[in-house]
């Protein structure tokens, strides 16, 4: 084995080298983890109509179930995710997946409304803790050329998980009831937890930046697996290993970018989670059979996957700022049309696909954008807090939509109101001043 002293900047070395098969595998694992999160979040949308039927809930009460998980995700982004910069990405994955597995398995056993609210809160806490670390790990295992695509590709796992959940629930719920969907999702989460414990190492950027016990050995194992020469000594690092303070996000270098990210993500999530939560239920209210209404949600997520993948492919050519704005403007127009057209089922499927393509495809651009704005030492803190602020929009959107639906606002007015935040998100992304995006 070749050994050499640590280069002045190991990150620069890896940024300029082609990605090894091991690095690609780590990005793929993050993609699968995000698929799991897509299952865990969207399963409540696919089971919502059956929960309403069993417990005779109003639309507002169903909205509270949607928002309970989102409230947990907000808490996870604030309370758990920042510790990924202190205790490590792998450890955060283990903690978060343990919470997700517990929440999903308990959801399959509930017998009362308030019990499901609590279980969704626990599940959301784990999802909020893991999502920022997924973006950080994908960025840290990628070279500079592929970084935006890798982070965007990982986000595309979410709608794939939602698609699988849609197909499964359409088959399983008529046979076994809605609780079977939560049991299956909990078992998948348990399998992912076991996989992380057995197979996923800590990221190189974390090991070099924090230098925990046995860091040199772990670094060399990673370098070998990435096809790089080993090093004899670790590069120098700061002695303080305290969690990154929030004030670091508001230093002159990052302040303007942080504010725009928080505003853009807040309004983007407000619309995104409203659409994801309510589209299957609205389709069923329009007279669709349960199976077809479930497949409407699948069309939404198929569009989201296609949009996320397309965004990743186009980002290097067009630029993150311009591309997010473009997607958001088209998404705004698509939602306004959806709310005002008289549609056949087939046209509804097509319009739903385009909404997913541009709404989630455009919003997912915020993940590589945020990962580029902040350096590795504060990346999960920066991504976690940005997404945490956004979760307040995610909580507000589905609940407000349910309340306004109970107040009998027209479908056309509702879709105009809930598409307008996309324009705010697009403008905020376009005006982010970070030099790291140039």
Let me know: does 65 contact 48? Beta carbons within 8 Å.
yes
What is the number of H-type helices and E-type strands within the chain? 18, 2
Considering the domain boundaries, does residue 266 fall inside one?
yes
Number of domains in the chain: 1
Angstrom distance (rounded) from CA 333 to CA 337? 6
Considering the domain boundaries, does residue 2 fall inside one?
no
Considering the domain boundaries, does residue 428 fall inside one?
yes
**DSSP string covering 108-157, please?**
TT--SHHHHHHHHHHHHHHHHHHHHHHHHHHHHTS-TTTHHHHHHHHHTH
Considering the domain boundaries, does residue 154 fall inside one?
yes
The residue count of the chain comes to 438
Torsion angle, alpha carbons of 127, 132, 138, 141, to 10: -120
Let me know: does 298 contact 167? Beta carbons within 8 Å.
yes
pLDDT at 192: 92
Considering the domain boundaries, does residue 1 fall inside one?
no
Please report, for residues 34, 198, 281, the alpha-carbon distance to residue 159 in angstroms, rounded to integers and kept in the order given: 9, 26, 18
Q: Name the residue among 352, 179, 371, 387 with its Cα closest to residue 280.
A: 352
Residues 6+ apart with CB under 8 A from 115: 106
pLDDT at 222: 83
Give the 3-state secondary structure of 350-377: HHHHHHHHHHHHHHCCHHHHHHHHCCHH
Angstrom distance (rounded) from CA 70 to CA 290? 25
Considering the domain boundaries, does residue 6 fall inside one?
no
Angstrom distance (rounded) from CA 374 to CA 165? 33
For every one of its 438 residues, what pLDDT tens digit does the chain have, with 9 covering 90 and above?
444 444 445 667 777 888 888 889 889 999 999 998 888 887 888 898 899 899 998 888 888 888 888 889 888 888 888 787 788 888 999 999 999 999 999 999 999 999 999 999 999 999 988 887 887 888 888 888 888 788 878 878 888 888 888 889 889 999 999 999 999 999 999 999 998 998 888 877 788 877 778 888 888 888 888 888 778 787 776 544 455 678 888 998 899 999 999 999 999 999 998 888 787 777 777 777 777 777 887 888 899 889 988 998 898 888 899 999 999 999 999 999 988 888 788 888 899 999 999 999 999 899 889 988 988 778 878 887 888 888 889 888 888 888 898 888 888 899 899 999 999 999 999 999 988 787
Angstrom distance (rounded) from CA 339 to CA 413? 7
Angstrom distance (rounded) from CA 392 to CA 266? 7
Let me know: does 394 contact 41? Beta carbons within 8 Å.
no
Considering the domain boundaries, does residue 293 fall inside one?
yes
Let me know: does 36 contact 192? Beta carbons within 8 Å.
yes
| CATH number, domain with residue 282 | 1.20.1250.20
The first and second tokens of residue 294, run together, are 């479930």
* Cα angle 337-426-431, degrees, rounded to a multiple of 5: 160
Burial, 247: exposed, middle or buried (Cβ in 10 Å; 0-12, 13-18, 19+)? exposed
Let me know: does 309 contact 356? Beta carbons within 8 Å.
no
Burial, 180: exposed, middle or buried (Cβ in 10 Å; 0-12, 13-18, 19+)? middle
Which run of H or of E encompasses 231? strand 230-231
Residues 6+ apart with CB under 8 A from 335: 271, 275, 355, 359, 415, 418, 419, 422
Let me know: does 149 contact 312? Beta carbons within 8 Å.
yes
Beta bridge partners of 230: 3
Let me know: does 131 contact 37? Beta carbons within 8 Å.
yes
Q: What range does the domain containing 70 cover?
A: 13-437
Neighbours of 66 (CB within 10 A): 27
Considering the domain boundaries, does residue 180 fall inside one?
yes
pLDDT at 239: 47
Beta bridge partners of 3: 230
pLDDT at 8: 46
Burial, 423: exposed, middle or buried (Cβ in 10 Å; 0-12, 13-18, 19+)? middle
Let me know: does 78 contact 388? Beta carbons within 8 Å.
yes
């Amino acid at each position: 084995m070749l050994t050499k002293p640590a280069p002045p900047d190991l990150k620069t070395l890896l940024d300029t080298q082609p990605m090894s098969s091991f690095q690609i595998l780590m990005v793929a694992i993050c993609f699968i983890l995000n698929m799991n999160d897509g299952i865990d979040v969207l399963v409540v949308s696919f089971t919502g109509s059956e929960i309403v039927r069993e417990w005779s809930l109003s639309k507002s009460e169903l909205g509270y179930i949607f928002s309970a998980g989102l409230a947990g995700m907000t808490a996870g982004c604030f309370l758990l995710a920042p510790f990924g910069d202190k205790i490590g990405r792998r450890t955060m994955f283990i903690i978060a997946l343990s919470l997700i597995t517990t929440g999903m398995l308990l959801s399959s056993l509930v017998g009362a409304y308030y019990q499901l609210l609590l279980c969704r809160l626990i599940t959301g806490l784990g999802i909020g803790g893991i999502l920022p670390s997924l973006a950080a790990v994908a960025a840290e295992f990628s070279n500079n050329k592929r970084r935006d695509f890798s982070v965007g590709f990982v986000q595309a796992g979410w709608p794939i998980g939602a698609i699988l959940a849609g197909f499964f629930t359409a088959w399983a719920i008529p046979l076994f009831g809605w609780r079977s969907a939560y049991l299956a999702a909990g078992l998948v989460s348990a399998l992912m937890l076991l996989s992380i414990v057995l197979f996923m190492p800590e990221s190189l950027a974390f090991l070099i930046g924090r230098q925990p016990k046995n860091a040199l050995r772990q670094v060399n194992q990673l370098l070998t697996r990435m096809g790089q020469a080993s090093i004899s000594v670790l590069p120098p690092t700061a002695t303080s290993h305290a969690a990154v303070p929030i004030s670091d996000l508001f230093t002159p270098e990052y302040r303007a970018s942080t504010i725009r990210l928080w505003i853009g993500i807040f309004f983007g999530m407000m619309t995104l989670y409203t659409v994801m939560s309510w589209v299957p239920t609205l389709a069923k209210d329009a007279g669709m059979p349960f199976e077809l209404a479930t497949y409407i949600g699948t069309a939404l997520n198929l569009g989201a996957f296609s949009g996320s993948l397309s965004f990743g492919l186009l980002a290097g050519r067009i630029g993150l700022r311009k591309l997010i704005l473009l997607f958001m403007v088209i998404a705004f127009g698509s939602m306004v049309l959806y709310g005002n057209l008289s549609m056949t089922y087939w046209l509804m499927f097509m319009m739903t696909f385009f909404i997913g393509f541009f709404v989630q495809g455009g919003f997912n651009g915020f993940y590589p954008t945020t990962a580029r704005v902040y350096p590795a030492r504060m990346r999960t803190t920066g991504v976690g807090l940005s997404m945490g602020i956004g979760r307040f929009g995610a909580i507000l959107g589905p609940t407000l939509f349910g309340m306004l639906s109970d107040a009998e606002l027209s479908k056309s007015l509702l879709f105009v109101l809930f598409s307008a935040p996309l324009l705010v998100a697009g403008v905020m992304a376009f005006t982010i001043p970070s030099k790291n995006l140039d």
